[in-house]
Amino acid sequence: MFGLDDALVGLAIKYVPELLGEVFGDKTGEAAKNVAQTVTALTGHDNADKAKDALDANPDLVFQLRAKAMDLKAAREERQHQERMTAMANAVALAVATNTDRQGARDRDREFIKAGKTNTRANIMLLCAAIGIIGGIGFMVMGKVDGNTAVGGCIISVVSLLAGALKTAFDFDFGGSASEQHTMGVLAGFKK
């Protein structure tokens, strides 16, 4: 962005300091180009010295430059608002999908129980996680592995991962309903 546009942008910022925040925002290159083009269009000059002389001679041009600064600010704020709304909509969609998935899994488990079956796959996964946690801790204690070494850090990471999986399973079976009801209440509030 260095060159003629820089001189025009610097000139615009001198006359309208509020432009500084717009030029160095999230769309820097585009905003700087718009400011430089606006200065050129208003003054009729693409030379910074001639544009300065025109701005000095006509206060109305400075007023028009201020109006452009307000337009840039409004456009940036609208863009940021849309980004926040999109992020919020994505978060709501993810929460709905997660709760739907969890409910579907619970319904499947209820059907297994009604049919007199067990979810063998889930039971094996939980057993493996528990054995992995106990084995990892046992290996660190019995093998005198220091947690500050690469091997110790790796073991701690794996044990933490397995503990998280076990926590998720417990939340699913014993504690997920309260948080699910809270989440569904929050989602219902968004629909209003």
- The model's pLDDT over 36-48, given as tens digits with 9 standing for 90+, comes to 888 888 888 888 8
Residue that is written with structure tokens 């905003």 in the block: 31
Which pLDDT score is estimated for 180?
Answer: 59
Q: Would you tell me how many other CB atoms lie within 10 Å of the CB of residue 12?
A: 27
Q: Is 162's pLDDT higher than 60?
A: yes
pLDDT tens sequence across 14-61: 767 767 666 665 566 676 777 788 888 888 888 888 888 888 888 888
Closest CA to 52 of 20, 91, 8, 19: 8
Alpha carbon distance 18, 46 (integer Å): 21
Measured CA to CA in angstroms, residue 52 lies from 14, 41, 85 at distances of: 10, 13, 41
Q: What is the pLDDT of residue 21?
A: 64
Tokens (6 digits) for 32: 């700087």
The 10 Å CB-count burial string (b at 16+, else e) for 146-173 is eeeeeebeebbeebeebeebbeebeebe
56 vs 118: CA distance, rounded Å: 84
pLDDT at 190: 59
Is the pLDDT reported for residue 132 higher than 90?
Answer: yes
Confidence (pLDDT) at 2:
42
**Residue reference for tokens 């417990």:** 170
